[in-house]
Amino acid sequence: MKKIKIGIYGMTGSFTDQAGREILKKKKINLKNIDFVYLPDAKDLMNFVKKGHLAVLPIENSTGGTVTQFLDLFPDYDFEILNEYFMEINQTLLAKTDTKMKDIKKVYSHPQSLLQCSDFLNENNFTPLADSDNSTAAKHILEMGNDVAALGGEILADIYGLKILKRKVQNSKNNVTRFLLIQRKGLKNPLENKLREKKRNKISLIFETKDLPGVLYKCLGAFATNNINMSKIESRPHRGKENFNYFFMVDLEGNLENQNIKNALAELDFFTEKVKILGNY
């Protein structure tokens, strides 16, 4: 079997790397048949999908909220969500082997990890500094002095020869990240039947409203009047359009084949400039 390429946000040992491997193991897919491609830039990952590949990315965290680096790109790319995966995230403070806690002044990590550990950083007067991902931050501190540390998974200590100074430094004990497995829409993927959820009882979509009074209220009414539960809504500035022009992302319970979903989408279409289905999974 020809190896399937799957893009991973971040580098080896990142939380997304761990999530991607767990998804595949859960679906009983042999990792020897997978060629993982590590991409620490969100746009590079989405372009990788555009070329005809699969990818795993983080979309939101129970403490840090939405990963906006990806959500902001969603209107620009033609893809579909095959699956989602929720993984408990335990943040670890990592440093070089000769670094002590009292030496640390700066902590590097992905912006989401810094948000998830803000209480710990503030309590210790550590300066948070953003890096492209946890794994890259862990690698970077090897080249710096003894006044720096990184946040990430315990596995990074083994990968980069770092010392674990403290475990579970996140603000909340119940710290969970939601990851998405996506592919280019229409891609002929030999693993699709295994990777795609059979029940497909969740829908994600984005839409842009028309310029009408009370238009968002009317858009959301399309779901309420058709008895559809909405589990998420978020607005983001639409890049490349006039200032203060927004799009909305919504997660719904249901299947695209359900009549109430069809009715709601037809009603939604009347009040929107554009509706884009991201996936039914």
Residue 104 has phi, psi (to 5 degrees) of -75, 135
Catalytic residue flag (residue 272): no
Tokens representing 279? 């996936």
Strand order in the sheet with 230-237: 230-237, 246-253, 202-209, 272-280
Q: Which of 177, 207, 223, 272 is catalytic?
A: 177
Q: Which of 179, 207, 248, 271 is catalytic?
A: 179
Distance, in Å, from the CA atom of 44 to the CA atom of 31, rounded to the nearest integer, reads 23
* Alpha helix segments (H runs only) across 154-280: 155-160, 192-195, 215-224, 259-270
Cα 234 to Cα 30, 109, 216, 219, 253: the distances in Å are 36, 25, 12, 13, 16
Catalytic residue flag (residue 209): no
Tokens representing 2? 């020809």
Active site residues: 177, 179
